[in-house]
Structure 1
Amino acid sequence: MAAEHPYAADNDAQEDMIINPLGVAASEDLSIEEKLDRLVAMKQAVGQRGADGTLDPGLVSRQMQDIDVAMARVQSQSDPADTRGGDRRPDA
């Protein structure tokens, strides 16, 4: 039996995705675009669950913060002006 992809929308991991956006950001199996797509989908799902009352407002807020942090991490992975290597751009 083949294992399902851990981020497949039609399996039990979908619930984990909603509460573990940093796992998506850290995934080495996904491209940056795929990561961002999944994080946007998470944000929409959390917002919908908050709007329909199936998720506590405090938890919605916390999950939205976690998703924003994960998105920032993914976007920094694609930032061409990455300064970690000491390649700082001169101030203009």
Structure 2
Amino acid sequence: MLLAAVAACGPVPVERAEDMCFRQAELALRPRGEVALGANSAGQKGGSLKLEISSDYIQGRDPSEVYNSCVYNRSGQLPTRPLYSRTDWKG
């Protein structure tokens, strides 16, 4: 069991690190949130608010820099493709 925990701390393949770091880069670009409102037939109303703001966003860090450093820290390698060339990037 201890060996499995130690192995989990090691580097991951660069492709996996790119996928893991993509969300962090998105949060560096802008906060994310959602609002849910509802009412039932008895007139009861309810709602919720979820907001995610990263410290990278607050510090004004470039999402590409966040992505590159995250991938390097997780895999020990630079990304195989720049953040801005990903087809799923909406920056």
TM-score (norm: length of structure 2): 0.34
| TM-score for the superposition, normalised by structure 1 | 0.34
Considering Cα pairs closer than 8 Å and 6+ residues apart, tell me whether 1 or 2 has the greater RCO: 2
**Structure whose residues are more often strand by fraction:** 2
Higher normalized helix content (fraction of residues): 1
> Is the radius of gyration larger for structure 1 or structure 2?
2
